[in-house]
Amino acid sequence: MKQIKLLLMLLLFLTTVIEAKDYNNRREVKNFINMMVKKHHFKRAELKKLFSNVKFQRGALGMFNPKYRKKPKHPPKHYSKHGSWDRYEKILLKESKVIKGVEYLRKHRSIFKEVYRRYGVPPEYITAIIGIESHYGYNRGKFPAFDTLTTLAFEPNRRKKYFKFELKELLLLSKKEGFNPKNVKSSFAGAIGLGQFMPSSYDAFAVDFNRDGRRSIQTTSDAIASIANYFKKNGWRRGEVVATRVSYKGNRFNRRKTGYRHKYYRSSLFGITPKYGTWRYGGKVRLIKLDRHNYDELWYGAKNFYVITRYNHSSYYAMAVHQLAQRIRKMYQKKYGDNLR
């Protein structure tokens, strides 16, 4: 009797955590289905079947609507005013991530070299993206993509319009590439594959590099080439620099606006100079400020740095990609003596 009671409690817990919903009776969903049928020629019965049993993704919704966010058992420690880059760096630039990146590069060396010849994007930068986005393929997401995007598209949150667009793109992609949208895993925001492409980016930038007739960014060769294609189409310049650290007077920098949105001629940046010798770059630069606990670290960001921010609109993200790429390249060359080109 005790075991049965425990089993019933467990089942109640599971049904509470994973709540199945039928979205077909919602006016907003009916309008969405009508649009997909009329404009994109989907079968109404197939769409109604998809929306009839959606696992409500409370965890994903909590990222965009505080009402659904669980209160942590142990509130985070109080952070000081400064040191945001110290904390960011500690998470994304661990030595173990560099070591795994080196081995990932070695394992797929021939693919990386072929992709570099075709797209001009250095292997270490693609490796860094895959390392940060999916830990080299070990963590591609645990959320069901269709259920997650449906939850985010039709439940109250600040970005539901965007998620409705991405839900449409996922369905179009599933039709074009011939897969069941219910069988795809994603991040809490619906990003898919080794490089964590949103469905719209998947359709715009994914390539069939291994020529098997399908664009699959769950496949290593297609994922590597798709990230390179993303960079190239967003303006990556073959052989150009990405960023370099600079010196300035003082410990905190507030003289100019910083971040990837603001560009300057180097000649106008008096008192700011490359920290390590000559930096061969003639274009406008961005000033990228990294908040350390005791000082601001300042960098020049070139056009290729800006391209990385098109993947994720964050200067910190782009800097993490750049620094992880440089550390991977340095360790790889020391270990294998290969220039990766």
Residues with catalytic roles: 133
119-153 in b/e form (b: 16+ CB < 10 A) is: bebbbbbbbbbbbbbbbbbeebbebbbbbbbbbbb
Q: How far apart are CA 128 and CA 109, in angstroms?
A: 14
What values do phi and psi take at 110, rounded to 5? -65, -40
* CA Rg value for the chain: 23
Give the HSE-up count for residue 105: Cα atoms under 13 Å, Cβ half-sphere.
34
Q: How far apart are CA 188 and CA 77, in angstroms?
A: 24
Tokens coding 147: 């259920």
For residue 224, give the 3-state DSSP assignment: helix
The H-or-E segment that residue 245 falls in is strand 243-247
Tokens coding 316: 């910190």
Distances (CA, A) of 302 to 240, 261, 265: 8, 12, 11
Pick from 284, 241, 57: nearest CA to 155: 57
Q: How far apart are CA 287 and CA 77, in angstroms?
A: 30
Q: How far apart are CA 177 and CA 138, in angstroms?
A: 24
Q: How far apart are CA 219 and CA 9, in angstroms?
A: 40
* Residue 18 DSSP code: S
Pick from 113, 312, 60: nearest CA to 224: 113
Q: How far apart are CA 256 and CA 270, in angstroms?
A: 11
